[in-house]
């Protein structure tokens, strides 16, 4: 049987990160690949449980991560081996059973947040009851960078019934639930891969808008200017400085190269032919920031920095057509 890892085996930089989380009700960890953000977060969860601050924690993460990372990592450490996990995924019935399962940590994927918000409202807040979670962790928090998406802001979407008729359904936005958690942490290694604009939604769900404001329009007006040829927006020099100053107190940034002995990166370029139809769409997007698919769907981006991402999606055969 493999021996469990002990708390004292955490590296000094990991201890620093645990202390950072424990010192702030709302915290953001920008940790490079391989620095152990899962073990760090588990240590903080256990510390808060031992202190009587937290009974249940909700972890929101990509689907692969909730199934194959958190419980497996907890089982490797002496301090976290006792934690009980419940994965809220599958059919609505399975999700409901997992939601009410007796566990210390519940895990859910980002795509299920609207459904989960509806359940919390139905069973708790609408009846004047507090939600059963005191802590929330957003793993890969860039998934909520768009604060105006249906996932965060809520709204209405059109659906087609089996008989072909359309109907409109209400989508519950996570924005109405995000401040219910006393302790909130965001985890990522790439906080602003496209633009400083990506930071707004991430800090909104962590601190409720305390640092960067509650509305993205105000955020843009305060720190950004119109982009090239009027497309999109770009952060101003002084705006960048102000943003960094405002988020500094709760943000801990660590780069892998500063703490890990890693070999030099080797890049291998492999050229492939894109089918003619896809090539046409690719070229239109690259040159015009707009393209139309054969089925009539229109693709459009509003920032030069977003063009490469959309072209990569096209090259992979499945461009995303909405924030959801």
Tell me: pLDDT of 322 over 70. Answer: no
Q: pLDDT of 143-197, one tens digit each?
A: 999 999 988 999 887 777 777 788 788 888 999 999 999 999 999 999 988 889 9
| pTM (predicted TM-score) | 0.81
The Cα diameter of the chain in Å comes to 63
Q: Which residues of 218-233 are buried (b: 16+ CB within 10 A; e: fewer)?
A: ebbeebbeeeeeeebb
DSSP 51-87: TTS-S-EEEE--HHHHHHTHHHHHTTBTTTTT--EEE
d(CA 108, CA 138): 10
Confidence of residue 324 (pLDDT cuts 50, 70, 90): low
Q: pLDDT of 27-56, one tens digit each?
A: 999 999 999 999 999 999 999 999 999 999
Contacts of 292 (CB under 8 A, 6+ apart): 281, 284, 298, 299
Name the fold adopted by 7-259.
Rossmann fold (3.40.50)
| Annotated domain spans of the chain | 7-259, 276-315
Q: pLDDT of 204-259, one tens digit each?
A: 999 999 999 999 999 999 999 987 766 778 999 999 999 999 999 999 999 988 98
């Amino acid at each position: 049987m493999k021996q469990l890892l002990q708390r004292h085996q955490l590296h000094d930089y990991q201890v620093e990160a645990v202390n950072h989380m424990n010192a702030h009700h709302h915290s953001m960890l920008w940790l490079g690949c391989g620095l152990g953000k899962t073990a760090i977060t588990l240590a903080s969860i256990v510390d808060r449980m031992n202190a009587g601050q937290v009974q249940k924690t909700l972890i929101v993460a990509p689907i692969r991560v909730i199934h194959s990372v958190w419980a497996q990592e907890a089982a490797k450490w002496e301090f976290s081996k006792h934690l009980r996990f419940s994965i809220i995924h599958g059919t609505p019935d399975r999700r409901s059973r997992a939601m009410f399962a007796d566990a210390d940590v519940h895990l859910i994927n980002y795509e299920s947040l609207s459904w989960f918000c509806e359940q919390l409202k139905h069973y708790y807040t609408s009846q004047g009851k507090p939600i059963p979670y005191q802590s929330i962790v957003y793993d890969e928090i860039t998934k909520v960078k768009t604060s105006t998406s249906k996932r965060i802001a809520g709204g209405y979407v059109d659906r087609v019934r089996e008989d072909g008729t359309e109907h409109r359904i209400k989508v519950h936005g996570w924005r109405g639930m995000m401040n219910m958690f006393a302790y909130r942490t965001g985890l990522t290694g790439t906080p602003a891969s496209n633009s400083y604009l990506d930071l707004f939604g991430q800090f909104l769900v962590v601190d409720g808008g305390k640092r960067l404001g509650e509305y993205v329009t105000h955020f843009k007006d305060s720190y950004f200017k119109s982009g090239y040829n009027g497309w999109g927006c770009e952060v101003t020099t002084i705006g960048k400085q102000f943003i960094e100053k405002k988020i500094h107190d709760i943000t801990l940034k660590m780069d892998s190269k500063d703490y890990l002995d890693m070999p030099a990166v080797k890049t291998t370029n492999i050229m492939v032919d894109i089918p003619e139809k896809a090539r046409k769409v690719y070229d239109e997007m690259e040159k015009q920031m707009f393209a139309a698919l054969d089925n009539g769907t229109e693709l459009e981006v509003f920032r030069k920095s977003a063009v490469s991402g959309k072209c990569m999606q096209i090259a992979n055969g499945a461009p995303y057509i909405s924030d959801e």
